[in-house]
């Protein structure tokens, strides 16, 4: 398995024409693509970069917009147009395979950048800081066309390293639209590439956690650089909410395989997270038995209860402790 030191060495020897690939995933995002792509094209840099867009067989006219941009910027934009829907993970894999640059920046097709200097700043930082494998910046959220500035970032003054210990806690450094990282896929063997694919590394949501197993990610929130569009009604978001327990559990198994492959002895620490979801799902299901939410929560609870990760006695004790704690709080 390739090491971080080997990645740094190969990166410094890299003489590629483009220094950064901005990866964009697209699927039925016609109404957002123009703003997204324009926010990338205006980046001011001292180095050449290109934009690699993978469209996962959109049916809403997104492809026509992408082709028009390709005509206008033939040397700046590369298109990967799937004839059949592949899913996010495989779409990302094809995109990464085309990125033969030292660095990769990520942006979802419905998000957009709001800082024209962010690409240069992140590039300069990693060029002069060999300790880090990536750079994560903060974001605002946009819901129903309104940008929500939910955190006073200046007061928060949030600078820290997201490292292996954070990743083992199944924490998350931030939305992937702000992630800039050393292109480890460009320097690993085919065998390593397939191993990372098998454990889900090409799923953009897992990528920062997997990267942090190799080296720290620099994270800062005082300079917001992009806007994450929150689309609560999307099918994928509903499915994610329904299956969060299963997703965490499957991810846990994938991470454990990755740790074993990297020779890391530690275990992912998801016990508290899963138990909290199990208890909350049980309580919510009791309150909403007559509604769809009740059914979804029963399914969540049943998955953990029957999977065998915890004993049934442990789950019952956790529920009992939760009820006792809430009763005592009300008495006070």
Tens digit of each residue's pLDDT (9 = 90 or more) over 76-110: 999 999 999 998 888 988 999 999 999 999 999 99
Percent of the chain at pLDDT > 70 equals 84
State the pLDDT at residue 246: 66
> In three state form, how does the secondary structure of 293-325 look?
HHHHHHHHHHHHHHHCCCCHHHHHHHHHHHHHH
- Burial per residue of 266-286, b for 16 or more beta-carbon CB atoms within 10 angstroms, e otherwise: eebebeebbbebbbebbbbbe
d(CA 116, CA 11): 25
- pLDDT higher than 80, residue 270: no
> Binning pLDDT at 50, 70 and 90, where does residue 287 land?
confident
Task: Provide mean pLDDT across the span 106-134.
Answer: 95
Task: Map residue 136 onto helix, strand or coil.
Answer: strand
State the pLDDT at residue 241: 46
Q: Domains in the chain, ordered, with CATH? A: 4-231 (3.90.550.10), 240-331 (no CATH)
d(CA 139, CA 148): 10
- Token pair in block for residue 304: 């953990």
- pLDDT higher than 80, residue 260: no
The residue among 75 and 205 whose pLDDT is bigger is 75
> Binning pLDDT at 50, 70 and 90, where does residue 291 land?
low
The residue among 199 and 287 whose pLDDT is bigger is 287
d(CA 193, CA 296): 36
State the pLDDT at residue 177: 82
> Binning pLDDT at 50, 70 and 90, where does residue 274 land?
confident
Strand-pair category, 20-26 with 49-55: parallel
DSSP state for residue 60 in the 8-state scheme: S
- Token pair in block for residue 279: 């208890």
Q: Which residue's entry shows tokens 């009604």? A: 233
- Token pair in block for residue 60: 């809403």
d(CA 45, CA 42): 9
Least confident of 71-80, 144-153, 214-223: 144-153
> Binning pLDDT at 50, 70 and 90, where does residue 47 land?
very high
> Binning pLDDT at 50, 70 and 90, where does residue 156 land?
very low
- pLDDT higher than 90, residue 210: no
Task: Provide mean pLDDT across the span 26-49.
Answer: 96
State the pLDDT at residue 266: 77
């Amino acid at each position: 398995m390739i090491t971080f030191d080997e990645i740094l060495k190969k990166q410094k020897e890299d003489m590629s024409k483009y220094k950064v690939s901005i990866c964009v995933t697209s699927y039925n995002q016609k109404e957002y693509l123009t703003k997204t792509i324009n926010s990338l094209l205006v980046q001011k840099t001292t180095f050449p970069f290109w934009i690699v867009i993978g469209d996962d067989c959109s049916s809403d006219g997104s492809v026509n917009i992408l082709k028009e941009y390709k005509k206008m910027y033939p040397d700046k934009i590369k298109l990967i147009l799937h004839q059949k829907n592949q899913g996010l993970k495989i779409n990302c894999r094809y995109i990464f395979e085309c990125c033969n640059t030292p660095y990769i920046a990520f942006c979802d097709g419905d998000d957009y950048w709001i800082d024209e200097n962010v690409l240069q700043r992140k590039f300069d930082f990693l060029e002069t800081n060999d300790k880090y494998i990536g750079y994560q910046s903060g974001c605002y959220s946009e819901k129903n066309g309104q940008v929500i500035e939910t955190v006073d970032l200046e007061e928060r003054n949030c600078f820290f390293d997201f490292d292996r210990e954070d990743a083992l806690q199944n924490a998350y450094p931030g939305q992937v639209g702000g992630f800039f990282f050393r292109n480890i896929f460009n320097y690993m063997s085919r065998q390593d590439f397939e191993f990372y694919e098998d454990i889900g590394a090409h799923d953009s949501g897992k990528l920062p956690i997997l990267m942090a197993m190799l080296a720290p990610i620099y994270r800062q929130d005082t300079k917001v650089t992009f806007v994450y569009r929150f689309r609560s009604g999307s099918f994928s978001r509903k499915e994610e909410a329904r299956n969060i327990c299963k997703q965490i559990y499957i991810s846990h198994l994938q991470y454990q395989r990755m740790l074993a492959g990297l020779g890391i002895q530690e275990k992912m620490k998801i016990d508290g997270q899963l138990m909290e979801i199990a208890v909350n799902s049980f309580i919510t299901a009791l309150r909403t038995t007559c509604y769809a939410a009740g059914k979804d929560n029963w399914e969540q609870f049943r998955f953990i209860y029957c999977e065998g990760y915890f004993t049934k006695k442990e789950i019952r004790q956790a529920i009992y402790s939760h009820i006792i704690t809430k009763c005592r709080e009300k008495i006070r």
